[in-house]
Structure 1
Amino acid sequence: MATVKIIAAVDLHHREADACVVREAIMLAQSHEAAVELVFVIPDQQNTYVQAYIPEDMRNQVEVDARKDLEAYAGEFDWNGISCTTEVLRGVVYEKLIEHADELSARFIVIGASRPTVKDLFIGPNAARVSRFASCCVLVVRPE
């Protein structure tokens, strides 16, 4: 029987705010006897003209550093026996999260909502798109 997978989407630039995302994912995993995968998406510049000017070694080093930071971040939590893996992706955040969830046949995506503003209509643009288009359940977590 395949293990139920929960994706906890975190932003390493907002570690403190996203701690509630990880804690909710852990609680959800306990209740569903699931494994958690912490996922950080490195947002690529969508303009291919700009991409041409970013050296490949710099792009690679960003990914290496992100993997180390994500592993360290995962180590900050008490997993209570829950299996945790980490994954760093690169691209458009909501697209990569949805694509990865589909690849894993994830049961849930847990994602944080940004601080409410009129511009975002009380939910961040990535959380809104993930919740609208993901084929699995999505739990949007408000900052504590």
Structure 2
Amino acid sequence: MYRKILLPIDLTEPEMTDRAISVAQALAKAFDSEMRVVNVQSLLPISFLDYVPENFNVQVRHGLEKEIAAIAAKFDCAPERVSTTLLFGPVYQKVLAEAEDWGADLIVLCSHRPGMDRFLIGSNATTIVNHAQCSVLVVRGLVS
């Protein structure tokens, strides 16, 4: 049913990420799916460039890629069935583009239970659900 499952993760929310990983892994195992773990980071404002070391972006990218690879290595499936990618830019735009480019059948993502701030400004999860070309499964996190 699902051949390719895209799993966007938030490295700053390990508890919520663990919940989404568990769900995605169970689905991937049930359907013998490929999985792609993706993390999207915001771009550093240009005004900050004078204040960070010259190789800062390389160091950050390398550290994040190692962290994502460590998460993917824990999956209970053949390593060739799991890929990782690190993207930079607006979260919802990058997740939607990756899902389309990779041909994902399903996006499994985690989201906080909506508070008043989410009702007023929306969230990445809402935008992804509304605009994805494939199915989206939202795994709810704990009440914040």
Normalised-by-shorter TM-score class: 0.7 to 0.9
**Map of 2:43 onto structure 1:** 44
Aligned residue pair count: 139
**Map of 1:105 onto structure 2:** 103
Assess, with a 3 A threshold, how the Cα gap between structure 1 residues 56 and 98 changes in structure 2: closer, same or farther: farther
Q: Write the letter of the residue equivalent to 1:68.
A: K
RMSD between superposed Cα atoms in Å = 2.5
Does residue 1:22 correspond to 2:21, yes or no?
yes
For 1:1-144, list aligned pairs within 5 A.
4-45=3-44, 49-50=46-47, 53=50, 57-77=55-75, 79-81=76-78, 83-121=81-119, 125-143=123-141
Assess, with a 3 A threshold, how the Cα gap between structure 1 residues 56 and 127 changes in structure 2: closer, same or farther: farther
Partner Cα separation in structure 2 for residue 27 and residue 76 of structure 1:
13
Secondary structure at the residue paired with 2:112?
A: coil
Flag as ranges the 4+ runs of structure 1 deviating above 4 A: 51-56
Partner Cα separation in structure 2 for residue 57 and residue 128 of structure 1:
35
Assess, with a 3 A threshold, how the Cα gap between structure 1 residues 104 and 56 changes in structure 2: closer, same or farther: farther
Partner Cα separation in structure 2 for residue 75 and residue 9 of structure 1:
16
Instruction: Give unpaired runs (5+ residues) of structure 1.
Output: none
| Alpha-carbon displacement from aligned partner over 1:12-63 (angstroms, at most 9, x marks no partner) | 1111221011111112212322111111111114x5x436546652122111
Q: With structure 1 as the length reference, what TM-score do the two structures score?
A: 0.83
Partner Cα separation in structure 2 for residue 42 and residue 12 of structure 1:
10
Q: Identity rate of aligned residues, in percent?
A: 29
Query: Is the Cα contact below 8 Å between 2:16 and 2:111 reproduced in 1?
Result: no
The structure in which a higher percent of residues are helix is 2
Assess, with a 3 A threshold, how the Cα gap between structure 1 residues 56 and 132 changes in structure 2: closer, same or farther: farther
